Amino acid sequence: MELLMKKIIFVTFLFLSGFSLADNNVFPYQQYVCPPCYHVKDIFTAKTYSHDGQCPVCGMDLIELNEPNDTSIDLHPGSGNFNVKTVKGTVISVFYHKPEKFDSSSKILLVIPGAGRNAWDYRDTWVEASEKYNVLVLSPAYDKQHYDYAAYHLGGILDKIEFTNYTVNKSEGRVNKYRLDDKDIIKGKLTQTNTWIFNDFDSIFDQVVQAVGSKQQTYDIFGHSAGGQILHRMAIFRPDSKAKRIVASNAGTYTLSNFQYDYPLGLSETNLEEAMLKDVFATNLILLVGEEDNDQETRGTMLHTPILDKQGLGRLARGEFFYREAKPQAKKMNVPFAWHFYKVKGVGHEYRKMSRAAANLLYDKKVHKGIVHVSD
């Protein structure tokens, strides 16, 4: 709160002195820290710096620091962050970029990071598009301490999931594949719907709309890798959200829209019924996958089981399988099918390039020739 008061006093001083905040996007009392890495476990107790730039220890880009208990939302032009309380009761930081020409009619985009949870990097990747298309970008950072695989990748629909008796493959010293039998996946219990991570996205949107005086009633949302896993599941389990367009990019595993398998492979043993799929297929779900995110890709981490591998060995094949399975299902039910599938040429498991492709799809009237719409 002390830091916030210093900012308010400083902005008041600028205003009385005839300065424009948009022209002087500098807060001398803003503190910066290194993101979580090998030498930073808790950003709130880490060494602080009075300027942005790179960490002198590890070279990572410094991020803005907010007081952990301050959940007020005050978005200045440019990049920053604020804290919000989640539906689980934890407090997370949301990294944002507010474009210079922002007004009440500006669109709002949520960006959901991959397994690295590096929301500040994802936010930075969208800064150029934010300014170009006048879009307010919001990227929530969910820490691994409170949001494990079940809570993050799977949306919190299960209270836990455990992988046992697995083997790993490594590339350049890091694990990029987990292999195990389907019977060695131990699943927990289904949770209450009001605790699912999807609910946070509407909540963040609503709070920001009120804070900035926006007239927007819906938002767009983009997620890559683990974020793509979250978002295609959001389309299935929260088709009534305020998301206008859901872009699920380069997901590694999918929840198929059938009742042949239990969650997370399918919808059996969930609270969904087949009749509810009418609303699911009507969501504006955009599946966006890099053409080179195939079985030869070593970036990211893939889960391999006999059932999953029937859907494909790479993210491209699994995305195509998910789409191909759903489309005839909607036709059989005689309901509209609003999903779309796009391939991005020359791109693998790269969130920066996929973010640029998503920005092009969402906000540019002329779609880039490297993005191919797959209709069948």
For residue 16, the model assigns a pLDDT of 44
Per-residue pLDDT, averaged over 93-103, amounts to 96
For residue 23, the model assigns a pLDDT of 38
| Strand pairing category for 161-163 and 185-187 | antiparallel
The helix/strand/coil state of 325 is: helix
Distance from C-alpha of 22 to C-alpha of 154, rounded to nearest angstrom: 40
Residue 91 has pLDDT above 50, yes or no: yes
Distance from C-alpha of 215 to C-alpha of 225, rounded to nearest angstrom: 31
Distance from C-alpha of 14 to C-alpha of 24, rounded to nearest angstrom: 9
Per-residue pLDDT, averaged over 76-105, amounts to 95
Per-residue pLDDT, averaged over 179-200, amounts to 96
- Tens-place pLDDT, residues 14-57: 344 444 333 334 444 578 888 777 677 777 677 888 777 788 88
Distance from C-alpha of 112 to C-alpha of 144, rounded to nearest angstrom: 14
For residue 257, the model assigns a pLDDT of 96
Q: Which tokens go with 176?
A: 């990029």
Per-residue pLDDT, averaged over 244-262, amounts to 97
* Exposed e or buried b per residue across 269-301, where buried means at least 16 C-beta atoms within 10 angstroms of its C-beta: ebebeeeebeebbbbebbbbbbebbbeebebbb
Full-model pTM: 0.87
Amino acid at 302: M
For residue 31, the model assigns a pLDDT of 82
For residue 20, the model assigns a pLDDT of 39
pLDDT band at 181 (very low <50, low <70, confident <90, very high): very high
- Are 73 and 66 in contact by the 8 Å Cβ rule? The answer is no
Residue 149 has pLDDT above 60, yes or no: yes
- Tens-place pLDDT, residues 328-348: 999 999 999 999 999 999 999
For residue 3, the model assigns a pLDDT of 45
Name the strands in the sheet holding 91-98, side by side, starting at the edge strand that comes first in the sequence.
78-85, 91-98, 135-141, 107-112, 219-224, 243-249, 285-290, 340-344, 371-374
Alpha helices (H) in the chain, listed in sequence order = 2-16, 119-125, 127-133, 198-212, 226-237, 277-281, 306-310, 315-333, 351-363
For residue 29, the model assigns a pLDDT of 58
* Exposed e or buried b per residue across 359-376, where buried means at least 16 C-beta atoms within 10 angstroms of its C-beta: bbbbbeeeeeeebeeeee
Helix (H), strand (E) at residue 222 = strand 219-224
- Tens-place pLDDT, residues 266-302: 999 999 999 999 999 999 999 999 999 999 999 999 9
Closest to 74 (Cα-Cα) out of 151, 152, 3, 128? 3
For residue 367, the model assigns a pLDDT of 74
Is the model more confident about 225 or about 54? 225
pLDDT band at 4 (very low <50, low <70, confident <90, very high): very low
The pLDDT mean for the chain works out to 90
Per-residue pLDDT, averaged over 245-271, amounts to 96
> Across the strands, what pairs with 61?
54
Distance from C-alpha of 50 to C-alpha of 35, rounded to nearest angstrom: 15
SS3 content of the chain, % helix, strand, coil (to 5): 30, 25, 45
